[in-house]
Amino acid sequence: MAFLRSSPSFSLLGLLSLFLSTTSAAPITTTTGIRLSIIRQPTPHVPVFREAPAFRNGDACGPLSTDQIHVAMTLDANYLRGTMAAVLSILQHSTCPENVMFHFLWSRFDPEIHSSIKSTFPYLNFRVYRFDANRVRGKISKSIRQALDQPLNYARIYLADIIPINVKRVIYLDSDLVMVDDIAKLWGVDLGDKVLAAPEYCHANFSNYFTSTFWSDPVLSGTFRGREPCYFNTGVMVVDVDKWRQGRYTQKVEDWMVIQKQKRIYHLGSLPPFLLVLAGNIRAIDHRWNQHGLGGDNLEGKCRSLHPGPISLLHWSGKGKPWLRLDSRKPCIVDHLWAPYDLYRSNKHTFEE
């Protein structure tokens, strides 16, 4: 049984009280009294984390051969603190945490990061793959925020080419989020004949995601003819990897990236080419699976409140990241919902009871 199972619906106060109670009820090690732990000095680019509890399957969990859940994320030293929190939240709220397989993508081998994952999650099922940044270097256009221009931000486009061929479905997740529900529920969504599932936001002004150059060109804007395109966030996606490969979706996204280099038809990194290829043709799922925008806008990162309704996943998309705002002692209210999952250790010596 996993350490914690979540209820299906959360309010802000409910989440806060839940997280406070879970942090006080954390498992205690078998060593009695006070133990002094010597923690290695962090390298300049890799933080140090405390070891997470071991999470075990419940009695009703099936075998890995039939019930394994595949999750893909990127690994970057600047976002590693967020990745660790995300992994912890997934395991903590999963009924079958041992059935979750993580596929991590990085742009270069970093032994410190690999060692950090192993020491923080000794029982984690994971594999690490190299994403060749040269695949996108000539295709990336400058966006409104430097973080969106990093090659690793585009790795999700090539996911189907990187993970093993026997993986038929994968959940892609950004590193700036926490799961507060059982990931098996997200894994089990019915994709139907669609290649991708994600929450849709049809109230958003879709025209803002593209430039006047795009909308004034009848050939380019005609790509949406016959569709009712809606915005969706690519930080939380359930992908049918087989359909992605068969439909050559990587090539379709790349084609729009080439046009972008020529005509400047959008401003926001890797998101717009996804919208150009798939908006209006995905399986829409409940908004509870991506309470996004908690990091504010892409320019200032101002605080935002939670949207009304049930919550299964909290996502700090936008400029502001919870670990940075907490460290600066200028957190937003929602950042306190992320804090209980933070495994970061800033001190060389720590005491554990």
- Burial annotation 129-147 (CB, 10 A radius, 16+ → b, else e): bebebebbeebbeebebee
DSSP E strands: which ranges in 168-309? Answer: 169-173, 177-179, 196-201, 231-232, 236-240, 283-285
The reply to whether 161 falls in a domain is: yes
The reply to whether 22 falls in a domain is: no
Residue 31 CB coordination number (10 Å): 9
Tell me how far apart the 2 most distant CA atoms of the chain are, in Å: 72
Least Cα distance to 51 among 118, 127, 98 occurs for 118
The reply to whether 41 falls in a domain is: no
The reply to whether 37 falls in a domain is: no
CA angle 18, 69, 115 (to 5 degrees): 80
pLDDT value of residue 3: 47
Rg of the chain (C-alpha set): 20
The reply to whether 39 falls in a domain is: no
Separation of alpha carbons 42 and 115, rounded Å: 12
Separation of alpha carbons 225 and 273, rounded Å: 16
- Kindly give the parts of the chain with pLDDT less than 50: 1, 3-13, 15-42, 347-353
Asked whether 153 and 269 are in contact (CB, 8 A), the reply is yes
Those residues whose C-beta lies under 8 Å from the C-beta of residue 289, and which sit 6 or more positions away, are 186, 198, 199, 236, 312, 313
**The total number of structural domains that make up the chain:** 1
Separation of alpha carbons 259 and 257, rounded Å: 5
Least Cα distance to 70 among 49, 47, 90 occurs for 90
Separation of alpha carbons 132 and 278, rounded Å: 24
Give the DSSP H/E element, type plus range, for residue 49.
strand 48-49
Those residues whose C-beta lies under 8 Å from the C-beta of residue 111, and which sit 6 or more positions away, are none
Domain hosting residue 320, numbered range: 56-342
The reply to whether 29 falls in a domain is: no
The reply to whether 311 falls in a domain is: yes
Least Cα distance to 238 among 308, 194, 187, 185 occurs for 187
Asked whether 81 and 39 are in contact (CB, 8 A), the reply is no
pLDDT value of residue 147: 58
The reply to whether 323 falls in a domain is: yes
- pTM of the predicted model as reported, rounded to 2 decimal places: 0.85
CATH code assigned at 117: 3.90.550.10
Helix pair angle (271-278, 249-263), 10° resolution: 120
Separation of alpha carbons 1 and 95, rounded Å: 6
- Say which residue the tokens 């670990």 belong to: 323
pLDDT value of residue 111: 93
